[in-house]
């Protein structure tokens, strides 16, 4: 999905604008120093076009002050967004901090939509027009609070979306597949990327049908070209003491938006951490395919490997289906096994089970293991179909409500029969009376 980032100084009305764009009020809290939000991106829609809004204002303002704070937001936005919305308080005008950010935004070459907010009544309109001088084109006069001008603004945002490079339809058959390298800091993402790129780097101009985003890197592996998304953030170490978690999860979210499959790196030499589990969960929630790479295998001894297996059983129970590779980015051990794992995961992600085959199979397992009878009733499974791929989603029609444990049973059976190694799958049940 196209990604829209909202940037601006505190109190210019970013949160109100985000809520306005989302069309609801619960989502985003007001700018409050010290409040770190756990959600960083929100699904939105305008005129039937879905997109993501990322809210870059979630980390604390540190000692270096507001100018630095806004610059950080802008850097993140430049790296991650397809369209940047830069919000200025029209009643205050452009400040020095704003001017610095403008330079950064202009250099980025990304489309920027300038919003003059708080134009609640006519005598602020002149103020809004004065923002032409910022050199970002037409300022959109908006009152986020009252909703004025937000329709025109959304039209303008949509007009700047790229031509659907990440959609299913937009994917070139046989073209590069998109991979996100994820994991907490120091797990070895950058080392792995270097190791992989060492194999063969592809000149970007030679890749047909791709958008040339300098933050992505094309690498040839196992006879095909792979696109590693958002690599700028991996290569350029971000030195930041505050809001690190927030920043990290924002980056993960944005990379997942662009990717088809994620490699989550976990440090085999250290205990599995809360943050590792969170990243894995983010991949599942995003519906992307997943491979888990245990890195720094060279640092493990027999005892550590023993404990690692116990930790995996305990902490990563939700992803027994993810292909696993034990690698060392620094020695190169088993790094070549990543490619077949990625191929497997993507194959599962793309898979479609024909309706006839699916129902024949369901018939068998339901006959052998019928749903338990509850208060004298037994729901029957009538029919199932795969509604979509990438990832596979199934709809099961039943004559009554299916218990959670039975749905889990169906999922396990589906996986046992059809595999889906490396892909999340989804089963929804519709009750037909
Ligand atoms: P990133 O923050 O995830 O990009 O991690 P880096 O690639 O920068 O790696 C962090 C540190 O771990 C560096 O000092 C690397 O040299 C080291 N490192 C990365 N992979 C391995 C590995 O497989 N084995 C060992 N022993 N060290 C590694």
43 is a domain residue:
yes
Q: Which residues of 247-262 are buried (b: 16+ CB within 10 A; e: fewer)?
A: bbbbbbbbbbbbbbbb
- The reply to whether 210 and 258 lie within a common domain is yes
Q: What is the pLDDT of residue 60?
A: 53
- The reply to whether 345 and 359 lie within a common domain is no
- Binding-site residues from annotation: 8-15, 55-59, 117-120, 183-190, 230-234, 295-298
Domain containing 375 — which CATH number? 3.30.300.20
- The reply to whether 310 and 364 lie within a common domain is no
Distance of CA 249 from the midpoint of ligand 1 (Å): 20
Give the residue whose CA is nearest to atom 19 of ligand 1. Answer: 188
* Pocket around ligand 1 at a 6 A CB cut-off: 183, 185-191, 234, 295-296, 298-299, 328-330
Task: Give the total number of structural domains in the chain.
Answer: 3
- The reply to whether 202 and 228 lie within a common domain is yes
123 is a domain residue:
yes
Domain containing 285 — which CATH number? 3.40.50.300
- From 188, 255, 301, the mutation candidate for ligand 1 (largest count of ligand atoms within 8 A of CB) is 188
168 is a domain residue:
no
- How many Å apart are CA 109 and CA 104, to the nearest integer? 9
**pTM for this one?**
0.67
Name the one residue in this structure whose structure tokens are 């007001």.
30
Kindly give the number of the ligand 1 atom that is closest to the alpha carbon of 327.
Answer: 23
Q: What is the pLDDT of residue 266?
A: 98
Q: What is the pLDDT of residue 17?
A: 85
- The reply to whether 368 and 344 lie within a common domain is no
Query: How do the pLDDT tens digits run along the chain, 433 residues long?
Result: 788 888 888 788 887 888 888 776 444 554 444 444 445 677 788 888 888 887 766 555 565 677 777 777 777 777 778 899 999 998 888 888 788 788 888 888 889 999 999 888 877 788 888 888 888 888 999 988 888 888 889 999 998 887 654 444 444 556 789 999 999 888 999 899 999 988 555 444 444 444 455 678 889 898 888 999 988 777 765 555 455 567 777 888 889 988 999 999 999 999 999 999 999 999 999 999 999 999 999 999 999 999 999 999 999 999 999 999 999 999 999 999 999 999 999 999 999 998 889 999 999 999 999 999 988 888 888 888 888 899 999 989 888 889 999 999 999 999 999 999 999 999 988 887 6
Half-sphere exposure of 183 (CA within 13 A, CB side): 23
- The reply to whether 319 and 188 lie within a common domain is yes
Distance of CA 139 from the midpoint of ligand 1 (Å): 45
- How many Å apart are CA 366 and CA 312, to the nearest integer? 32
241 is a domain residue:
yes
- Note down the domain range covering 203: 177-349
337 is a domain residue:
yes
Distance of CA 279 from the midpoint of ligand 1 (Å): 18
- From 330, 331, 334, 337, the mutation candidate for ligand 1 (largest count of ligand atoms within 8 A of CB) is 330
- The reply to whether 149 and 182 lie within a common domain is no
Q: Could you check whether the bond before residue 391 is cis, i.e. omega within 30 degrees of 0? A: yes
Say if residues 256 and 288 touch (Cβ distance below 8 Å).
yes
- Binding-site residues from annotation for GTP: 8-15, 55-59, 117-120, 183-190, 230-234, 295-298
80 is a domain residue:
yes
- How many Å apart are CA 385 and CA 387, to the nearest integer? 6
Which ipTM was obtained for this model? 0.94
């Amino acid at each position: 999905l196209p990604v829209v980032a909202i940037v601006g100084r505190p109190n210019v009305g970013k949160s109100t604008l985000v809520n306005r764009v989302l069309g609801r009020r619960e989502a985003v809290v007001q700018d409050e120093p010290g409040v770190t939000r756990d959600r960083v991106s929100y699904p939105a829609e305008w005129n039937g076009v879905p997109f993501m809004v990322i809210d870059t204002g979630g980390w604390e303002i540190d000692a270096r002050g507001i100018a630095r704070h806004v610059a950080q937001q802008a850097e993140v936005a430049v790296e991650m967004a397809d369209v940047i919305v830069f919000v200025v308080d029209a009643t205050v005008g452009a400040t020095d901090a704003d001017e610095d950010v403008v330079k950064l935004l202009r250099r980025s070459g990304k489309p920027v939509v300038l919003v003059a907010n708080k134009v609640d009544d006519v005598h602020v309109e002149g103020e809004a027009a004065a923002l032409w001088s910022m050199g970002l084109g037409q300022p959109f006069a908006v009152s986020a609070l009252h909703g004025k001008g937000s329709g025109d603004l959304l039209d303008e945002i949509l007009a700047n979306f790229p031509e659907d490079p990440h959609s299913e339809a937009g994917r070139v058959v046989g073209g590069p597949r998109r991979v996100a390298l994820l994991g907490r800091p120091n797990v070895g993402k950058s080392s792995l990327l270097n190791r992989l790129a060492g194999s063969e780097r592809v000149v970007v101009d030679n890749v047909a049908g791709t958008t040339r985003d300098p933050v992505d890197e094309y690498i040839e592996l196992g006879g095909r070209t792979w696109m590693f998304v958002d690599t700028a953030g991996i290569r350029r170490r971000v030195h930041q003491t505050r809001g690190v978690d927030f920043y990290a999860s924002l980056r993960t979210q944005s990379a997942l938006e662009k990717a088809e499959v994620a490699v989550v790196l976990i440090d085999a030499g250290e205990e599995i951490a809360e943050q590792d589990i969170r990243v894995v969960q983010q991949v599942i929630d995003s519906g992307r395919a997943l491979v888990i790479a245990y890195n720094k295998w060279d640092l493990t001894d027999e005892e550590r490997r023993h404990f690692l297996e116990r930790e995996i059983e305990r902490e990563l129970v939700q992803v027994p289906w993810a292909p696993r590779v034990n690698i060392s980015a620094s020695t190169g051990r088993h790094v070549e096994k990543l490619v077949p794992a990625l191929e497997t995961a993507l194959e599962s992600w793309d898979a479609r089970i024909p309706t006839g085959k699916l129902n024949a199979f369901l018939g068998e397992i339901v006959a052998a293991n019928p749903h338990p009878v509850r208060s004298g009733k037994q729901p029957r499974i009538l029919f199932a179909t795969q509604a979509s791929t990438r990832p596979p989603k199934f709809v099961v029609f039943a004559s009554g409500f299916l218990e959670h444990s039975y749905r889990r049973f169906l999922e396990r059976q589906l996986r046992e029969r059809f595999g889906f190694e490396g892909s999340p799958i989804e089963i929804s049940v519709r009750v037909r009376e």
